[in-house]
Structure 1
């Protein structure tokens, strides 16, 4: 029994000696070889792809939803106590954090209402950009109408459910502003529409949103990331003061950060499509062969959209190919070529884009977007031509582009009515219409020669507004023996002084008068809707008649297109 451990020790020593003499060395060598192979694999640079999109996918192109809980005040007794709920608890925490005195008592008043606030931050948004806000009333509330209310400052955060609990981000936007209820423009008997609505441009983004490219696993290497960033910067750069700076920065071996090029502001999705269509290899003798290949693809309807993107990604060298393509007989092919030329800031894009806007509803929205940033004075005159079209969405779409261009907005005129909203009177040979905006900008647009108001005596509007037609000689500003007809607008609100205004008996006068007596955008919108319903407003009343994005283009069997007439001016109107 005592010899057994000694025998085991002897055998162990013998085995150890054998390992040292040969077996162990081979085992160690195999380990070194494996490590060396893994190291070499890490050092090996992947073969570059033809196009960046083969190696990378876009990051940051999804909208971010932000939410908050807040108070709408200045209600005319149509608010109500916020009943016990998780929303009330969240709001009380927020109010205590901001040192609001007696928050519980504040939430019990009938001129206040607890609301949910929601917004979407678009890709590439920058600090200071504005977003529309959606107002929702929680289920447990006694509020009956948010008309005329004002949303107090609210902090909006992105919320996610992780591990069965709600996690909130830092503050991504701050919201405030006047509420436009759904009942103001919808006008149905559904009472729930009175306690929901929106605030146009009511949210202010608090931090920049970055875009980027994520490299696929096969291409994740620091040298590959650097090569792709250099390829992007050869095509896209801008001057930061006196320094030339590219838009791409390889921050990791698997991630490239992308700044938005100034030409593609508000067109971030297209920027990323073009970036991913860039070739990784520098320009060479193969470039001319590639241009010839893409020119051939541009003549095939199924391949034309992608071919135009790749030509746009090449840049100035592709301009002659694209210009030549704008004279092709197929309207779809002309459109793709002209759209790419517009983003290359070429005025050869203007006429084919105008033709596409007039002829094909599917081309209107992308064509107007392309014309928005085209830095040529002739683009302004082209957009002004569209104001005479019969299509209302074409006219209003062109008007909004002119409004958003710094070199054209002054040509529209427009009146700032007490800081509440703007009134535009646009000359147009098209059918007259009254347009109300429900997104971005609070504005009333009188398009063309609108008809006089059909008002013989008076009608009652929202929130204590009364509009009465004055008899001849009754107006303080009437001229004896004649003169223009006048309106008297009165506003009666409990606990507030009565307000009066005397204006011309025109639609523009009516809108101005509403602002004169302290009315807001919701009052103007609701008044115009009621005037239309009662026959006082004769012409068409349209709500946000903008061209729809992502309309489908229907191609004939022979490759030529046909217009999608079913989408023509598909707008909410009365």
Structure 2
């Protein structure tokens, strides 16, 4: 995919011929009759006359691409329907015919099936094979009463449009399938029972590269090359062992970006840092700007922007200015300085960021993401220490940050269970807690491995699995199957053993979540139970707020005075 050009543009090699790419070629005439100096003079001069990439170029590819499909759900317990005649039914029958499904109308008449609408969003920078969530719902006026226990068959997801009473689909951008997670608290007569999510059920079939579009007033082949060179001089990656810059000028108006690995969980920040780079700057001009930026860093009103620009410069000289910000009496200045130092992989960032993650909800998501980006054992130890916090949000946020840092770490690696969900048992101190996700990857984390249910109890795990703890001190997990023998497992009251038994008899992630949520609601699970306890967006920092030294949940509900200066990192985004 490329941005739409306003005119037909030959390749850069054709345009430039043997134009030299070094800074010494600045006097080469452009095909539009401009020198590089004349093009740069058009850029808005900021910070002492240094034009930045942000002055001439705009982000491209940071939007979400909506993909949709008409899907078929199987394995319902008589809660489906024979869908009425409609464009959706016609589209589904066409798809079944294309797949050579026999007797498709008979399948649709089965009450254990239902027609559903699938929707997902391909995020910025997604690559082929990456997974994302799928939203599932029945059409309006559907007679289906519940999607609980349903399994969506593979569906081709495209950008859809309705034209002439027919649904038109574009190219296949993703595939979607999997078990539907329905809110366990939804009753069968509740509309919420006809909606759900497939966590990680979408698989991208395309690469979405990032890029910069150069503004109309500054478009030229030479300008595109200057921008790409400025970026690649600062950021490089390794391709099959060879070092290469992350930027490539594709046309006179478009520069393609490869995501630098350190920013893999914070794409928006990467683009902001890239746009904070100078297009071209002498050593003397850089020294002068460093002094100016240090002063701006120490001012809370300009500290966020100054930190990004110092991060863009990088190196020891910029790090020294940022470390001066760590000594500030202002918490915002200390945080922004520490955040940028983390992306420069400086150990000095760890202490202030760990403190911010523990004590200040407005900074938590950014602090944890920055710590996860570091290749530093001190940062790893800081994240491990946060696993024992009293705040559920901090504990799970630290777990997710450790996973992003190194998913193969034996402490948090966990295991893959039936149905593809990840299961982790942590002995990290602190109160016992059970955490499940309803976005991103299907995942269950036990904070404390010695948790137990209190008897007596009876729980449902999906439509066919019963957990019976009414007699004695044991729990029997039974999977009742029509026309087949019942599968049973008898275990202790251990939460871990019951979870494993549900999976062993044939349950999957939605079944486990339903049982845990019911156990908490009915008092059989005394541990804290949390769903998607991730740092939230839209928070603001209040410098006058009382500090909560014990890091309780009360500290997570704050009044606000100043909005945090950077967007929510991808690591904690629910739109996956």
TM-score, L = length of structure 1: 0.84
Q: 2:475 is matched with which residue?
A: 487
Which whole-Å deviations, capped at 9, do the CAs of 1:475-498 have from their partners, x for residues lacking one?
Answer: xxxxxxxxxx42111222434431
CA 1:152–1:462 in 2, change beyond 3 Å: closer, same or farther?
A: closer
Give the Cα–Cα distance (whole angstroms) in 2 for the partners of residues 501 and 40 of structure 1: 76
Q: State the 1:99 CA deviation.
A: 2.2
Instruction: Report the CA distance shift for 1:225/1:41 in structure 2 as closer, same or farther (over 3 A).
Output: closer
Counting matched residue pairs gives: 516
Partner of 1:414: 414
Query: Equivalents in 2 of 1:211, 1:423: separation in Å?
Result: 33
For 1:251-300, what per-residue CA distance to the aligned partner results, in whole angstroms no more than 9, with x for missing partners?
11111111111222232111110111000114421111111100000011
1:351 aligns to 2:351 (yes or no): yes
- 1:158 counterpart residue number: 159
d(CA) in 2 for partners of 1:61, 1:352: 30
The residue aligned with 2:524 is 536
- 1:524 corresponds in structure 2 to 512
What whole-Å deviation, never above 9, does each CA across 1:120-149 have from its counterpart, x for those lacking one? 111011111100111011124332222221
**CA distance in structure 1 between the aligned counterparts of 2:236 and 2:166, rounded to whole angstroms:** 43
Partner residue, 2:18:
none
**Cα shift at 1:40:** 9.8
Q: Please say which of residues 273-282 and 166-175 is displaced more in the overlay.
A: 166-175
Deviates more, 1:45-54 or 1:150-159: 45-54
The equivalent residue for 1:375 is 375
Aligned to 1:90: 91
Whether 1:499 and 2:499 are equivalent positions in the alignment is no
2:236 aligns to what? 237
Q: CA deviation at 1:98?
A: 2.2
Length-normalised TM-score, structure 2? 0.84
Q: How many Å apart are 1:365 and its aligned residue?
A: 0.5
2:442 aligned with 1:442: yes
Contact 1:63/1:122 (8 A) holds in 2:
yes
* Residues 512/355 of structure 1: CA separation in 2 closer, same or farther (3 Å cut): same
Contact 1:393 1:569 in 2 (8 A): no
The within-5 A match list for 1:112-511 is 112-159=113-160, 168-182=169-183, 184=184, 186-187=185-186, 191-316=190-315, 317-406=317-406, 409-412=409-412, 414-448=414-448, 452-456=452-456, 458-459=458-459, 462-469=462-469, 485-511=473-499
Task: Report how far residue 500 of structure 1 moved.
Answer: 0.4
- Superposed displacement of residue 456, structure 1: 2.6
SS at match of 1:43: coil
**Whose helix fraction is larger, Structure 1's or Structure 2's?**
1
Quote the offset at 1:327 in angstroms.
Answer: 2.4
Give the SS at the match of 1:412.
coil
**Closer, same or farther in 2 for the Cα pair 1:95/1:381, shift >3 Å?**
same
How far did residue 470 of structure 1 move? 7.2
Unaligned runs of 5+ in 2: 1-28, 44-50, 559-571
The CA distance in 1 between the partners of 2:468 and 2:235, in whole Å, is: 60
Q: 1:64 corresponds to which residue?
A: 65
- Looking at structure 2, the residues matched to 293 and 509 of structure 1 have their Cα atoms a distance apart, in angstroms, of 61
Contact in 2 for aligned 1:331/1:561 (Cα 8 Å) = no
Cα–Cα, structure 1 residues 230 and 40, in superposed 2: closer, same or farther, change >3 Å?
closer
3-state secondary structure, aligned to 1:538: coil
In the superposition, relative to structure 1, how do residues 188 and 340 fare at CA in structure 2: closer, same or farther (>3 Å)? Answer: farther
Classify the secondary structure of the residue corresponding to 1:351.
Answer: helix
> Which is greater in Rg?
1
SS at match of 1:198: strand
What is the CA–CA distance in structure 1 between the aligned matches of 2:505 and 2:301, rounded to whole Å? Answer: 58
In the alignment, the residues of structure 1 paired with residue 517 and residue 99 of structure 2 have an alpha-carbon distance, to the nearest angstrom, of 39
Q: Which one has more relative contact order, counting CA pairs under 8 Å at least 6 apart?
A: 2
1:371 partner SS = helix
Deviation at 1:102, TM superposition (A): 2.3
Task: Report how far residue 449 of structure 1 moved.
Answer: 7.0
Residues 134 and 199 in structure 1, CA contact (< 8 A), matched pair in contact too: yes
Q: Distance in 2 between matches of 1:499 and 1:300?
A: 66
Deviation per residue, 1:419-453 (Å, 9 max, x gap): 44333222243332221111122222222476532
Distance in 1, Cα, partners of 2:117 & 2:364: 35
Q: Deviations over 1:102-127 (max 9, x none)?
A: 22222111221111111111101111
Find the residue that maps to 2:250 and give its secondary structure: strand
Which secondary structure state, in structure 1, belongs to the residue aligned with residue 321 of structure 2?
A: helix
CA contact (8 A) 2:477 2:489 kept: yes
Contact 2:390/2:430 (8 A) holds in 1: yes
Q: What SS is found at the alignment partner of 2:84?
A: coil
CA contact (8 A) 1:433 1:448 kept: yes
For each residue in 1:296-344, what CA deviation from the matched residue of structure 2 results, as whole angstroms up to 9, or x when unmatched? 0001111000000000110114111112222222111111111111111
The separation in 2 between residues aligned to 1:296 and 1:436, in whole angstroms, is 45
Distance in 1 (alpha carbons) for counterparts of 2:60 and 2:391: 37
